[in-house]
């Protein structure tokens, strides 16, 4: 999609002072709901107020066990540590489908196909080196929990106990948030179903004790939210969250979400494209899922984290997941996890009292586990070096979304959606105004004076591509080859800001 500089839409939005008079989305009277107890309602949204609107370690990465050496081995670690330190504090989640396929072998030589104490030491070294001042990274470690079969004969409570013991022997207190039991059990439990899972869950939780469990780690169907709400389609375990959380109280409720899928035979709703990725339809499905499940967690005194997410299931889609639009999507998506706007009840959560405490963008090999030399998943926020050298990991478009969000939104005490009166999406985070242009044309918005930082599509070929540009920049800056960030370079703005397609702008009203 090319930039169209010959014209600009100019819309006189009445946006004034940040602290007092930014136009908030006005709450509306929620419509009557069907008899569905898990759907969030206005009185439930006050169930568990948080001390801050956006957690101080909101951003995160999810990495398969099969890629530990590629990101955190001795030759890759220095640059990866820099990439983490750029983000301040955050959460690493180590797992995914690989955690149900790779056994922990305490005495075996280290390879890509097993988890060993060397892998744990590499993760520990990464966390130690990423710590800087008050900023620190913590980790969620996944282990197998699924019905045994030929491809995973090792799976058992005893295996989980052995893994948990090694974790406690390796990491410092406070570095490990918990152990995630199984990946997407709504898929892996197959014929055993929810009953089999609920029978196993307390047994495995006892096996890893005193380390806390993280559950249910479910993978939700890629469906319109209306169909989920009406229960007109099978949804695997979407409506079993309350039952699962009541069976075993975890550290927090964890969930997965992909708006699209690389393969979509006979399912056009799932087909990947830039317009579909940036559509309000798919964002509404995210809002619905986060609102329902974060409310389920809050009612039990738990937090909610979207521990695995990205643009398209199946390791992403070329031309969608690895272009500038993915950074635009990821930035917008993080706001909606922190402050979901339930499509069934417009205006019911404009105070952002409910929502998630974080997001982990998933990273994997392009095709299959144990074949890292084939290259990176299209959706990777950070690309590993697929060569035998295993050199420095490199920042991709979605990484810049994490960097932008961590610098300007993470840790905010207040968060509010803002009605800009245009197609531009708006949010207020403390005394900053964030504007997101998800359209394919430039838009000018009337704004207060201040200083502006910009996440902007970047086309090194000079062809003027925007949403489909292969790279992005923040304030014209790129992450260095060693993973370090040269710094933000905001520029003053007066009473008017133009956003090119795919651009995200934050305006601060202080020097």
| Per-residue pLDDT at 510 | 59
Going by the DSSP 8-state scheme, the letter that residue 21 receives in this structure is H
| pLDDT tens digits along 366-387 | 999 999 999 999 999 999 999 9
* pLDDT at res. 76: 98
Query: Any idea what DSSP says for residue 402?
Result: H
Burial 193-208 (b: 16+ CB within 10 A, else e): ebeebbebbeebbebb
* pLDDT higher than 60, residue 28: no
Q: Is the pLDDT assigned to residue 48 strictly greater than 90?
A: no
Once rounded to an integer, what is the mean pLDDT over residues 264-268? Answer: 90
CA angle 101, 216, 315 (to 5 degrees): 50
Three-point CA angle 261, 263, 269, nearest 5°: 55
Token reading at 484: 């370090």
Q: Is the pLDDT of residue 7 over 90?
A: no
pLDDT tens readout for residues 303-341: 999 999 999 999 999 999 999 999 999 999 999 999 999
Looking at residue 398, its pLDDT comes to 98
**What is the reported pLDDT for 10?**
38
Q: Taking residues 148-168, what's their average pLDDT? A: 95
Token pair belonging to 393:
């990991």
Please give the full DSSP string across 300-319, using - where no structure is assigned.
TT-EEEEEEE-SEETT--TT
Terminal CA-to-CA distance of the chain, rounded, Å? 35
pLDDT of 189 over the 50 cut: yes
With 0-12 CB in 10 A as exposed, 13-18 as middle and 19+ as buried, what is 189? buried
pLDDT at 20 over 90: no
φ and ψ at residue 9, rounded to 5 degrees: -85, 130
Q: Residue 47: pLDDT band by 50, 70, 90 thresholds?
A: very low
pLDDT of residue 5: 35
The pLDDT assigned to 51 comes to 58
Mean local confidence (pLDDT), 106-114:
95
Average pLDDT over all residues of the chain? 90
Continuous H helices in 100-208: 117-130, 157-170, 185-188, 193-208
Provide, rounded to the nearest whole percent, the portion of the chain with pLDDT above 70.
Answer: 90
Distant-in-sequence, close-in-space partners of 310: CB < 8 Å, separation ≥ 6: 258, 316, 321, 361, 362, 379, 398
Residue 263 has pLDDT above 50, yes or no: yes
**pLDDT value at residue 50:** 52
Q: Percentage of the chain with pLDDT > 90?
A: 85
13 vs 279, higher pLDDT: 279
pLDDT surpassing 90 at residue 421 = yes
Statement: residue 470 has pLDDT above 90: yes
Which domains does the chain possess?
9-23+419-508 (2.60.40.1180), 44-408 (3.20.20.80)
Report the pLDDT averaged over residues 156-177.
98
Q: What is the pLDDT of residue 495?
A: 85
- Pairwise CA distance, residues 389 & 74, whole Å: 11
Give the mean model confidence (pLDDT) for residues 180-203.
Answer: 96
């Amino acid at each position: 999609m090319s930039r169209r500089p010959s014209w600009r839409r100019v819309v006189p939005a009445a946006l004034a002072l940040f602290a007092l008079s930014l136009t908030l989305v006005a709450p509306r009277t929620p419509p009557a709901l069907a008899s569905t107890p898990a759907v969030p309602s206005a009185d439930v949204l006050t169930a568990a107020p948080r001390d801050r609107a956006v957690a101080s370690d909101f951003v995160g990465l999810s990495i398969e066990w099969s890629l530990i050496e590629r990101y955190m081995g001795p030759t890759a670690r220095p640059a990866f540590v820099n990439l983490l330190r750029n983000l301040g504090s955050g959460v690493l989640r180590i797992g995914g489908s690989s955690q149900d396929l790779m056994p922990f072998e305490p005495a075996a030589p280290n390879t890509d196909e097993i988890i060993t104490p060397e892998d744990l030491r590499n993760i520990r070294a990464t966390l130690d080196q990423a710590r800087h001042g008050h900023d620190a990274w913590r980790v969620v470690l996944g282990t197998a929990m699924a019905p045994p079969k030929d491809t995973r004969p090792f799976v058992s409570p005893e295996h989980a106990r052995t893994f948990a013991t090694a974790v406690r022997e390796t990491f410092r207190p406070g570095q490990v948030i918990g152990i995630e039991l199984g990946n997407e059990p709504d898929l892996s439990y197959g014929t055993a179903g929810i009953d089999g899972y609920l029978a196993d869950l307390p047994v495995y939780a006892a096996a890893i004790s005193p380390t806390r469990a993280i559950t249910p780690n479910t993978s939700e169907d890629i469906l319109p939210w209306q169909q989920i709400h009406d229960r007109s389609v099978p949804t695997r375990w979407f409506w079993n969250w309350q039952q699962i959380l009541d069976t075993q109280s975890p550290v927090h409720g964890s969930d997965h979400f992909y708006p699209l899928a690389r393969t979509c035979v006979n399912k056009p709703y799932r087909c990947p494209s830039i317009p579909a990725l940036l559509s309000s339809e798919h964002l509404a499905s995210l809002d619905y899922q986060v609102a329902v499940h974060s409310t389920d967690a809050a009612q039990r005194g738990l937090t909610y984290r979207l521990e695995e997410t990205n643009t398209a299931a199946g390791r992403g889609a070329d031309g969608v997941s690895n272009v500038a639009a993915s950074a635009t999507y990821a930035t917008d998506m993080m706001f909606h996890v922190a402050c979901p706007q339930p499509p069934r009840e417009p205006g019911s959560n404009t105070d952002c009292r409910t929502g998630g405490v974080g997001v982990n963008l998933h990273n994997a090999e392009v095709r299959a586990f144990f074949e890292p030399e084939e290259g990176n998943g299209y959706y990777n926020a950070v690309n590993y070096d697929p060569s035998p050298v295993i050199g420095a990991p490199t920042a991709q478009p979605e990484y810049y979304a994490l960097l932008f969000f961590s610098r300007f939104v993470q840790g905010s005490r207040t968060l509010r959606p803002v009605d800009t009166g245009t197609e531009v999406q708006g949010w207020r985070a403390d005394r900053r105004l964030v504007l997101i242009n998800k359209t394919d044309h430039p838009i000018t918005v009337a704004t207060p004076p201040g200083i502006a930082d910009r996440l902007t599509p970047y086309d090194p070929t000079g062809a003027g591509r925007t949403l489909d540009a292969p790279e992005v920049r923040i304030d014209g800056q790129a992450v260095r080859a060693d993973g370090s960030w040269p710094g933000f370079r905001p520029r003053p703005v007066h009473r008017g800001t133009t956003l090119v397609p795919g651009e995200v702008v934050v305006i601060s009203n202080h020097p």
